[in-house]
Structures are given as C-alpha cells and as structure tokens.
C-alpha cells in the first residue's frame, strides 16, 4: 500500500511520508538541487515531518542556472527568499546550506538568519561524523562517516567500506540519528525536468 501511495503522491507533485517515519523526534532531512516548483511540496513535508536538522546541499533554486545566466540574479533572490522562509520557519533546531555552483553567497547571507551557510565542511551532529558539500568531487577526496552532496551523479547513493554516501539528486533522505536508518523519498514528478535534466547531465 505504501508503494502505491508513494507514486500517487509523486504524480500529484507531492512527497509521500510513510507512517513508519512519522512522529519521530530525532530526524535529519537532506534535500538538494531544488527547483522552485517543488517548494510547496517541501514545505508540506517539513511541516509533517518536523525534522530536528535540515541539510540542503546546494543549488537552492535549481531551475535558475545562475552560473550560466547571471542576469537572472533578481529572479534568483526572489525565489531563494521563499525557500529560506520555509526552512527557517520550520521547527528545525539547525539548518545547514551548502553553496552550489548556481548559488550566490552574498544573497543567501543577506536573507538567512538561523541557517549555517557553508562550502564544504566536516562536523559532528550528535556525535555522528558528517561531510556536507554540493560537489561529489569534494567527498571523493576524504569521505566521512555520512556524506551528503548533490550536483551530479558521479557518486551515486551507496554504502561502501562502512561509509554512507547520500546523493540528494536521486532522493530526499531522512536520516534517523537514533537508529542510523535512512528513509528514501521521491522528489515530486517533474523535479528533474525543472532541473533541466540535471540528474543526467550534471550541470
């Protein structure tokens, strides 16, 4: 039944949260490369999930390819304000945002209040070692216990030699800090199209 619901929500442009993960209080939500068309679905997910931590691994308005089209800077700012509002008005105690190649640091810094903006960084969350970066190439050099990233598919989600690699392009991840289990959720229908097929081309 969960599988049917998952795809029903997917085609409706929403994110299905299984009952098994509801009402837990020590969760980390990982999202990445988010086009503006899914902000509403992300907002609904965060309200329902109530994660303790949120990690966004870059390109917060991924349909706006700012690196290629800097003239869209005003459109970018208008969009990221919406997502920052969603993230920072959640119940999350800590929010980490990694800079993507289509992000603008000064604009993000202008609008964030409680989030931590970073490029690539290793740190502990409840005594678990995390490495957060937008780029898989950073992760390849010196992986940590839990590695979260996006950008392209040069590293796919996997577990290797006791290290967990979570590519935020492929799925939304919910990491249970108590049980160390990962729940994989589908992005809404059309997400990759809005990324301009980023999952295939890695732009």
**Position 202 pLDDT exceeds 80:** no
Q: What is the mean pLDDT of residues 117-124?
A: 96
Q: Give the span between the Cα atoms of 187 and 10, in whole angstroms.
A: 7
At 3 the pLDDT is 81
**Position 149 pLDDT exceeds 60:** yes
- Residue corresponding to tokens 């990221």: 80
When pLDDT is cut at 50, 70 and 90, the band that residue 201 belongs to is low
Query: For 109, what's the count of Cα atoms within 13 Å in the CB-facing half-sphere?
Result: 6
Domain spans in the chain, listed from the N-terminal domain onward: 2-115+170-201
H helical segments located in the chain: 2-11, 39-49, 73-88, 105-111, 136-141, 191-194, 198-201
Q: Give the span between the Cα atoms of 182 and 73, in whole angstroms.
A: 35
What's 2-115+170-201's CATH class? alpha beta
Q: What is the pLDDT of residues 40-91, one digit of tens each?
A: 999 999 999 999 999 999 999 999 999 999 999 999 999 999 999 999 999 9
pTM of the entire predicted model: 0.96
Q: Give the span between the Cα atoms of 56 and 87, in whole angstroms.
A: 10
**Position 199 pLDDT exceeds 70:** no
Of the candidates 73, 95, 75, 99, the one whose C-alpha atom is nearest the C-alpha of residue 86 is: 95
């Amino acid at each position: 039944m969960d599988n049917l619901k998952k795809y029903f929500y997917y085609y409706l442009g929403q994110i299905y949260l299984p009952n098994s993960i509801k009402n837990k209080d020590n969760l980390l939500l990982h999202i990445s490369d988010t086009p503006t068309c899914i902000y509403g679905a992300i907002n609904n997910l965060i309200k329902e999930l109530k994660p303790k931590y949120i990690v966004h691994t870059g390109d917060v308005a991924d349909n706006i390819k700012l690196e290629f089209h800097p003239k869209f800077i005003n459109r970018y700012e208008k969009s990221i304000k919406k997502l920052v509002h969603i993230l920072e008005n959640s119940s999350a105690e800590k929010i980490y945002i990694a800079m993507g190649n289509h992000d603008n640091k000064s604009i993000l810094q202008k609008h964030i209040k409680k989030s931590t903006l970073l490029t690539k960084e290793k740190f502990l969350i409840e005594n678990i070692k995390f490495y957060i970066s937008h780029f898989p190439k950073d992760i390849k050099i010196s992986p940590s216990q839990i590695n979260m990233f996006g950008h392209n598919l040069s590293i796919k989600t996997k577990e290797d030699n006791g290290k967990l690699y979570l590519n935020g392009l492929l799925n939304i991840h919910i990491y249970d800090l108590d049980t160390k289990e990962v729940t994989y959720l589908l992005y809404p229908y059309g997400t990759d199209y809005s990324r301009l097929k980023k999952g295939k081309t890695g732009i």
